[in-house]
Chain A
Amino acid sequence: MAKQLLKGNEAIAEAAIRAGVQAYFGYPITPQTELLEYMARRMPELGRVFLQAESELAAINMVYGAACTGRRVMTSSSSPGVSLMQEGLSYIAASEVPCVIVDVMRGGPGLGNIAPAQGDYTQIVKGGGHGDYRMIVLAPATVQEAVDLTRLAFDLADKYRMIAVVLLDGSLGQMMEPAELPPFADGAALGTPPAWALTGAQGRPKNVVTSIHLVPEDEEQFNQQLQARYAEIARTEVRCHEYATADADLIVVGFGTAGRVAQTAVKQARAQGLKAGLLRPITLFPFPEQRLAELARQARGFLVVEMNAGQMVDDVRLAVSGQGRGGLTPAVRFYGRMGGIVPLPDEVLGALKALAETAGHTPQPSPVSCLPLDGGPVAR
């Protein structure tokens, strides 16, 4: 199929339709509303379910119910709306029913604004709801990648009986780019609901979808089961994009649009003789921590670029801590813009040059500080 000029939000909607989504529930919020509007048009055409919910709270619980039937279902929203969905996400994760969430992030906290941001990293990647759960998080940097990752999100959600999130910022949702849509998923392959699904107990014992385990030992065992699955995913489903990392001693790390901007900065840095490279995580959970640890052996410094106050940078620090030559930790610096401002390549280049000037070829010991009981920070 040829490439078409597609808007990010609409491309994701059509990709979801082609992945076989049977029901969409959502609530209007900028900058993702085109996704909902596209679904409002397209889903009834195909005889599938579209319903505008009375709130994000209702939308996520409609998704929860529909997901219990074993069909492919989804919702989309933007940061404040996703905050409202956190209760439902925790329940869905604990019930092990698969579904797909699209979060087109905007500026925050609070009502913030409708400009592009990446401030939902923590609430999505770490789990903004209660309890120890994880969601598979996929972060596209182009419209084409958004299309491809939407299909992957449904496949991974089904495979692991988990929530899969496509996490992008408002600029990517609003941007038009050439992209190629995949063919429709094989309907027959999606036709049979899985054995656990609620379909009416015809000729079989009843199925129950629940998230309650009243006996502490049962709840602990269930949690261990979830953790084992997350560990398996961490081993098998890590995806990232690398640019010029083979001989790089300065590594820029950024996801989504920030990673895309950073790649331009890395190209400029190379042209100026810096041995820079880019690692752009595509899966935020699972996080490419092993690859970062490998790069820590060759790098003298990492620059993390985000459209927030520094959220993913903590995970980069953890990944490279003590992983440099001689068990030391390379320098990790952060450059971020907030409020809905997308960093420019020149700004990233400036931060990269500053890193290049200060980060020694010999990695420094990692300062570990804590607040002792008698006051005053301690460094060792």
Chain B
Amino acid sequence: MLADVVLEPEITYTRPAALADTYTHYCPGCTHGVAHKLVAEVIDELGLRERTIGVAPVGCAVFAYNYFNVDFAEAAHGRAPAMATGIKRVLPDQMVFTYQGDGDLASIGLGEITHVAARGENLTVIFVNNAIYGMTGGQMAPTTLPGQKTASSPCGRDVEATGLPLRMAELLAGLPGTAYAVRRSLHNVKEINRAKKAIRTAFQVQQAGLGFALVELLSSCPTNWGLPPLDALKWIEDQMLPYYPLGDYKVADGVEQL
């Protein structure tokens, strides 16, 4: 005889309200989806969904607005910080964040990101660093590692000709307007949890009006690295972490107390 008591399953996790219920366009194994989820969870937990405006970049995250249930603008390549400045200055009570890749933020948009940090704009920047241009098919980025093979550095990045990769969290930490600049990684559960805490802090810095906040997230690109998803996560750990050490590069006065 079958048991006549059906136990209701305990719900331990639901999709954040700030995350849209839709299909993803990201490649299998890409950690953009994890980064999106973390941002959406933080927006929910801080109760910001109805007063947040995001700015999407040009790059793989060009359609970020499809995945968030918040107001969104889509910027020109590299210009998201300038666009976010315009929004935030007019609507200072809104939480404004940009979500940018390494080509967008560290190459074509280096001027804009540097000046928002210099001005200490009350903005939150989620910076996804996967050491490559994803959307255009895997070309060398300013963050591409020395010797790393890409479609535009087929023999490996020659640092004699192209210089060394930019460490953006460290670079922006050096500017007085920066309140919070940290690097985290998405290659395992422990680091994902640490990344979420940092994203939360970066939004709280903006809420408290303390200045510019940036979270750099080391992220995988299995497709353009030519690696299976798990090997790509291992590649972050083995190859990226030595050049891009995780850590807090700027935690201004007042941020610890948040």
Which residues of chain A have C-beta atoms less than 8 A from B53's C-beta?
198, 200
Which residues of chain B have C-beta atoms less than 8 A from A87's C-beta?
76
A234 within 8 A of partner (CB): no
In the complex, how many angstroms separate the beta carbon of A76 from the nearest chain B beta carbon?
15
Which residues of chain B have C-beta atoms less than 8 A from A59's C-beta?
82
Task: Indicate if the CB atoms of A65 and B74 lie closer than 8 Å.
Answer: no
Task: Indicate if the CB atoms of A54 and B83 lie closer than 8 Å.
Answer: no
Which residues of chain B have C-beta atoms less than 8 A from A73's C-beta?
86, 90
Task: Indicate if the CB atoms of A62 and B85 lie closer than 8 Å.
Answer: yes
Which residues of chain A have C-beta atoms less than 8 A from B85's C-beta?
51, 58, 62, 65
A199 within 8 A of partner (CB): yes
Complex Cα distance, B87 from A23, in Å, reads 10
Instruction: Sort chain B's interface into a size bin.
Output: 20 to 34
Complex Cα distance, B109 from A55, in Å, reads 12
Complex Cα distance, B159 from A252, in Å, reads 62
In the complex, how many angstroms separate the beta carbon of B117 from the nearest chain A beta carbon?
11
Given A51-B85, A200-B52, the answer on whether A91 and B76 have CB atoms closer than 8 Å is yes
Task: Indicate if the CB atoms of B111 and A54 lie closer than 8 Å.
Answer: yes
Interface segment out of the listed B64-72, B141-149, B224-232: B64-72
Per-position contact with A for B168-187: 1 when CB-CB < 8 Å, else 0?
Answer: 00000000000000000000
Name B70's contact: one of A54, A206, A209 (CB within 8 Å). Answer: A206
A323 within 8 A of partner (CB): no
Given A61-B79, A64-B86, A198-B73, the answer on whether A69 and B91 have CB atoms closer than 8 Å is yes
Q: In chain B between 57 and 113, which residues have their CB closer than 8 angstroms to a CB of chain A?
A: 62-63, 65, 68-76, 79, 82-87, 89-91, 94, 111-112
Complex Cα distance, B154 from A262, in Å, reads 62
In the complex, how many angstroms separate the beta carbon of B172 from the nearest chain A beta carbon?
15
Complex Cα distance, B86 from A59, in Å, reads 9
Task: Indicate if the CB atoms of B87 and A68 lie closer than 8 Å.
Answer: yes
Name B89's contact: one of A49, A91, A203, A209 (CB within 8 Å). Answer: A49
Name B69's contact: one of A53, A57, A91, A206 (CB within 8 Å). Answer: A206
In the complex, how many angstroms separate the beta carbon of A254 from the nearest chain B beta carbon?
35
In the complex, how many angstroms separate the beta carbon of A289 from the nearest chain B beta carbon?
32
Task: Indicate if the CB atoms of B74 and A61 lie closer than 8 Å.
Answer: no
A39 within 8 A of partner (CB): no
In the complex, how many angstroms separate the beta carbon of A152 from the nearest chain B beta carbon?
23
Task: Indicate if the CB atoms of A201 and B49 lie closer than 8 Å.
Answer: yes
Task: Indicate if the CB atoms of B51 and A208 lie closer than 8 Å.
Answer: no
Task: Indicate if the CB atoms of A199 and B82 lie closer than 8 Å.
Answer: no
Task: Indicate if the CB atoms of A65 and B112 lie closer than 8 Å.
Answer: no
Task: Indicate if the CB atoms of B94 and A23 lie closer than 8 Å.
Answer: no
In the complex, how many angstroms separate the beta carbon of A187 from the nearest chain B beta carbon?
15
Which residues of chain A have C-beta atoms less than 8 A from B55's C-beta?
65
Task: Indicate if the CB atoms of B111 and A61 lie closer than 8 Å.
Answer: no
In the complex, how many angstroms separate the beta carbon of A102 from the nearest chain B beta carbon?
17
B50 within 8 A of partner (CB): yes
Given A73-B90, A200-B51, the answer on whether A207 and B82 have CB atoms closer than 8 Å is no
In the complex, how many angstroms separate the beta carbon of A93 from the nearest chain B beta carbon?
12
Complex Cα distance, B83 from A61, in Å, reads 5
B115 within 8 A of partner (CB): yes
Given A51-B85, A61-B112, A210-B65, the answer on whether A203 and B90 have CB atoms closer than 8 Å is no
Task: Indicate if the CB atoms of B90 and A53 lie closer than 8 Å.
Answer: no
Given A61-B79, A63-B86, the answer on whether A210 and B115 have CB atoms closer than 8 Å is no
Which residues of chain A have C-beta atoms less than 8 A from B86's C-beta?
23, 25, 61-68, 73
Task: Indicate if the CB atoms of B71 and A199 lie closer than 8 Å.
Answer: yes
A189 within 8 A of partner (CB): no
Name A201's contact: one of B69, B79, B84, B89 (CB within 8 Å). Answer: B69
Given A22-B90, A58-B115, the answer on whether A208 and B82 have CB atoms closer than 8 Å is no
Task: Indicate if the CB atoms of A206 and B72 lie closer than 8 Å.
Answer: yes
A128 within 8 A of partner (CB): no
Complex Cα distance, B74 from A54, in Å, reads 21
Task: Indicate if the CB atoms of B50 and A66 lie closer than 8 Å.
Answer: no
A267 within 8 A of partner (CB): no
Task: Indicate if the CB atoms of A201 and B74 lie closer than 8 Å.
Answer: no
Per-position contact with B for A11-52: 1 when CB-CB < 8 Å, else 0?
Answer: 000000000001101000000000000000000000001010
Task: Indicate if the CB atoms of A208 and B65 lie closer than 8 Å.
Answer: yes
Per-position contact with B for A86-105: 1 when CB-CB < 8 Å, else 0?
Answer: 01100100010000000000
Task: Indicate if the CB atoms of B87 and A61 lie closer than 8 Å.
Answer: no
Which residues of chain A have C-beta atoms less than 8 A from B84's C-beta?
65
Which residues of chain A have C-beta atoms less than 8 A from B90's C-beta?
22-23, 49, 66, 69, 71, 73
Which residues of chain B have C-beta atoms less than 8 A from A58's C-beta?
79, 82, 85, 111-112, 115
Which residues of chain B have C-beta atoms less than 8 A from A88's C-beta?
76, 79
Which residues of chain A have C-beta atoms less than 8 A from B72's C-beta?
198, 206-210
Q: Which residue of A lies closest to B20 (CB)?
A: A206
Name B73's contact: one of A22, A201, A208 (CB within 8 Å). Answer: A208
Q: Which residue of B lies closest to A70 (CB)?
A: B90
Q: Which residue of A lies closest to B49 (CB)?
A: A201
Complex Cα distance, B83 from A66, in Å, reads 7
A-B contact pairs, 25 of them (CB 8 A): A22-B90, A23-B89, A23-B90, A25-B86, A51-B89, A53-B82, A58-B112, A61-B79, A61-B83, A62-B83, A65-B73, A65-B75, A65-B86, A68-B87, A88-B76, A95-B73, A198-B73, A200-B50, A200-B52, A200-B70, A200-B71, A201-B50, A202-B51, A206-B70, A208-B74
The 8 residue pairs across chains A and B that have the minimum distance between CB atoms? A65-B86, A65-B83, A66-B86, A61-B82, A210-B74, A62-B86, A61-B79, A202-B50
